[in-house]
């Protein structure tokens, strides 16, 4: 298929673009490089530098079979302080993209949604029919886009899938996580091992969990990318499917730090700090729907494998 990957120079977008090229698709990456990196566009993909509001319509005019939409702002704390960036950069820009797709008759969409659409869960594992009560503008903006996509499927026959990721980690060859502002646990812990940061802060050790630290569901970015390829292949005209994507196992902050110590051989000093605003205690996905309906089989669920791949990537990029 001829596919447009928005945000394909970012972390998840670049790994998915690489998987799509390998699967034999004709891939064009559209990215404004506000947070992405030009060298993260995979070989074999075309690259267009531009943003969704201005460039998407021009590019889609060439005629595409589908769009995989990753381009977004994704920092929770920034979204609390500057919500306008999220309503504009995520919601308005996605509306422009949907309109460009409608204008040019692009039939399929796979959207990068998030577990943040659910907010504080009543039950874990979290299923797709759980209440959606996002606790920050980032999650609210992604939920608004999910609703827009649903309405376009009904009204305009779009074949659409929203994939709600839990905690994405790991790397794929030379494609991995390198944010200018790093907020995620595993890259931060590995920065300590690489010597670019002195210690890691544990945001609260008084949570109602076995060791008092928050529990999250870490999914390998390769398993995530495989799910996007499946979602594209199974998309149906006029249907908006929503699937959660995680490994189904929770690991605490302390367990993650311990796994990083084992993989890197570095002592990784950790300091307990106050809780971070907006963090739920436990987030674990039920991926039963994706597994049962689309035959998804996550293969790299072991924390040591996930951390090991991320560590190899960190060393290559930081010259450790
Ligand atoms: N966390 C932490 N120290 C850090 C970064 C994150 O203790 O320097 C915790 C955070 O409070 C959460 C978990 O690690 O419980 C995962 O956070 P991350 O930002 O990686 O992902 P999120 O779950 O917020 O999407």
Per-residue pLDDT tens digits for 24-76: 999 999 999 999 999 999 999 999 999 998 899 999 999 999 999 999 999 99
Report the pLDDT value the prediction gives residue 320, as an integer from 0 to 100.
65
pTM (predicted TM-score): 0.96
Which residues, in sequence order, are CB contacts of 76 under 8 Å at separation 6+? 116, 136, 138, 139, 183, 278
Q: Decide whether any atom of ligand 1 lies within 6 Å of the 188 Cβ.
A: yes
Closest approach atom of ligand 1 to CA 253: 14
Report the pLDDT value the prediction gives residue 288, as an integer from 0 to 100.
97
Distance 188 CA to ligand 1 centre (A): 9
| Radius of gyration of the chain, Cα coordinates, nearest whole angstrom | 19
Which residues, in sequence order, are CB contacts of 44 under 8 Å at separation 6+? 21, 27
Residues of the chain with pLDDT under 50: none
Active site residue 138: yes
Distance 207 CA to ligand 1 centre (A): 13
Tell me how far apart the alpha carbons of residues 72 and 6 are, in angstroms, rounded to a whole number.
Answer: 9
Q: Decide whether any atom of ligand 1 lies within 6 Å of the 268 Cβ.
A: no
- Residue bearing the CA closest to ligand 1, atom 19: 184
Distance 273 CA to ligand 1 centre (A): 12
Distance 216 CA to ligand 1 centre (A): 8
Q: Which of 11, 86, 138, 152 is catalytic?
A: 138
Q: Decide whether any atom of ligand 1 lies within 6 Å of the 77 Cβ.
A: no
- Of the candidates 18, 295, 67, 286, the one whose C-alpha atom is nearest the C-alpha of residue 171 is 18
Closest approach atom of ligand 1 to CA 115: 25
Q: Decide whether any atom of ligand 1 lies within 6 Å of the 200 Cβ.
A: yes
- Of the candidates 123, 118, 20, 11, the one whose C-alpha atom is nearest the C-alpha of residue 72 is 11
Report the pLDDT value the prediction gives residue 185, as an integer from 0 to 100.
97
């Amino acid at each position: 298929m001829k596919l447009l990957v928005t945000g394909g120079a970012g972390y998840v977008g670049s790994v998915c673009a690489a998987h799509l090229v390998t699967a034999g698709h004709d891939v064009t990456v559209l990215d404004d490089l506000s947070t992405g990196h030009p060298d993260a566009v995979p070989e074999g993909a075309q690259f267009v530098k531009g943003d969704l509001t201005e460039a998407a319509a021009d590019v889609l005019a060439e005629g595409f079979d589908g769009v995989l939409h990753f381009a977004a702002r994704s920092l929770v704390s920034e979204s609390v302080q500057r919500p306008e960036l999220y309503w504009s950069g995520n919601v308005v820009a996605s509306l422009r993209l949907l309109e460009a797709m409608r204008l040019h008759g692009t039939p399929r969409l796979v959207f990068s949604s998030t577990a943040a659409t659910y907010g504080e869960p009543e039950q874990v594992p979290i299923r797709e029919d759980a209440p959606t009560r996002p606790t920050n503008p980032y999650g609210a903006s992604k939920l608004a886009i999910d609703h827009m996509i649903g309405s376009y499927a009904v009204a305009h026959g779009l074949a659409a899938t929203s994939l709600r990721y839990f905690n994405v980690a790991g790397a794929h060859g030379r494609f991995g996580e390198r944010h200018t502002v790093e907020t995620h646990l595993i890259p931060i812990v590995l920065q300590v091992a690489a010597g670019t940061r002195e210690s890691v802060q544990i945001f609260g050790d008084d949570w109602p969990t076995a060791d008092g630290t928050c529990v999250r569901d870490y999914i390998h970015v390769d398993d995530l990318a495989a799910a996007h390829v499946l979602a594209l292949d199974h998309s149906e005209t006029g249907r908006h499917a929503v699937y959660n994507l995680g490994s189904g196992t929770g690991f605490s902050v302390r367990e993650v730090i311990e796994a990083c110590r084992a993989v890197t051989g570095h002592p990784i000093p950790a300091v307990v700090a106050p809780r971070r605003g907006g963090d739920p205690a436990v987030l674990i996905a039920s991926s039963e729907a994706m597994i049962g309906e689309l035959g998804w089989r996550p293969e790299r669920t072991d924390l040591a494998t996930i951390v090991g791949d991320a560590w190899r990537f960190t060393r290559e990029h930081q010259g450790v």
